[in-house]
Amino acid sequence: MNNKGIGIFDSGLGGLTVAKEIMNLLPNEKIFYLGDTARTPYGTKTKETIIRFSKENTSFLLKKNVKIIVVACNTASALALKELKHEFPIDIIGVIEAGARAAVEATQNNRVGVIGTRGTINSGAYVDAIHKYGPKVRVSGKAAPLLVPLVEEGWLSGPETESILKKYLAEFGPKKIDTLVLGCTHYPLLKPMIKKLMPKVTIIDSAREMAKTVQALLEARDLTARRNNRGKSEFFVTDTPDTFNKVGRMFMKKDMVMARKVTL
């Protein structure tokens, strides 16, 4: 059981930020990563659609005989996690809880900002999760839909990205937040620029927090891998792997393994 893999799914390649953090923190673990590139983006789709896609992704990973499933996509975690937990008899963890808990621990003035896709922000999932740990925290959410395509184009720096980010982040000015949650798979890649624009704000990288949660869960269940399985990690996509493999290198650097196309 311990040497079974960890299943991770995302709407596409953004979840590689989560896979990378898990691989860094748990170098012995074997990863099965599914990027639903044929149906990305999830951030603009309805709850019913996201639930259906997420169930199909989970069923695929279960066939790989994994020991836990990580929903790396914030939108799928926000809209489908409850249904997945209800339907599948395996530990399934979403990315929202970890980021929310870290934000509550970090804030000094009880004012937290969250950026994410429209689906994630409109769902109110971060607000609910943050209030679970810190009922007095004031949460301001802001959908930042233009950031995903910018990251996918590799525009991680430069004046165009900076001016769009500035515009989104300016809305937090009057709210006086001291903590900002990066509530989307792609945003950790913009962390250097966000830090530069908000030097006094604590940035919560939900990908990193997620890796810590996975580690804690595996330890609690005594499921941590006993020997090095890393070489056997596998990546799957639902559309042509060309772009995934190219942009994936930007996310993963030397850890990138070529993805294969699968049908769900």
Give me the active site residues, please: 73, 184
**Shortest CB 9 distance to ligand DGL, Å:** 10
* Residues 156-160: contacts with CB under 8 Å, at least 24 apart: 156/189, 156/190, 156/192, 156/193, 157/192, 157/193
Residue identified by tokens 């020991």 is: 67
Task: Find the binder of ligand DGL among 5, 35, 41, 248 (CB under 6 A).
Answer: 41
- Total residues interacting with ligand DGL, rule: CB under 6 A: 17
Closest-CA residue to 5 (of 35, 37, 28): 28
By CB under 6 A, the residues from 186 to 245 that bind ligand DGL are: 186
The residue among 11 and 179 lying less far from ligand DGL, judged by its C-beta, is: 11
Is residue 57 within the footprint of ligand DGL (CB under 6 A)? Answer: no
Whose Cβ is closer to ligand DGL: residue 71's or residue 218's? 71
What is the smallest separation between the CB atom of 214 and ligand DGL, expressed in angstroms? 16
Contact 140, 178 (CB under 8 A): no
Return the number of the residue (43 or 113) whose C-beta is nearest ligand DGL: 43
CA 199 – CA 229 distance, rounded (Å): 39
Q: Are 143 and 121 in contact (CB under 8 A)?
A: yes
Q: Which residues bind ligand DGL (CB under 6 A)?
A: 10-12, 14, 40-43, 73-75, 117, 120, 148, 184-186
